[in-house]
Amino acid sequence: MWWVMSNWSLGNSGTILLKLCWLALYVVVSYRINPKPDYSDVGWLGGLLNNPFRLSDNYNRWQAYLQAVLLPGKLMAYSLALTVFIGQHIYKRVKE
């Protein structure tokens, strides 16, 4: 989140709003996209070397990289969803 708030002291609200929109888009995309690579076919030596006789290992390796890139956004999305769920539960308990 530091890259979102780095211009906070400058008062440039347009840049901050644009960065927050990109962050929200990243979280939504991370939540919606769920790549599932086949780890038994990511290449030789666990994906370190390309298998020249198969094309499918390239797709599986790409999906593994995509899964690693989307993991922080997925964690943010799940924590936000759980916060809303717990907040609703507490609100119903307090309201009674």
- The whole-number average pLDDT for the span 59-73 is 92
Mean of all residue pLDDT scores within the chain: 85
Does residue 17 come out as left (phi exceeding 0), alpha (psi in the -120 to 50 range) or beta? alpha
Lowest mean pLDDT among 40-44, 61-65, 84-88: 40-44
Nearest-angstrom CA–CA distance, 42 and 44 = 7
Model-wide pTM > 0.95: no
SS3 call for 26: helix
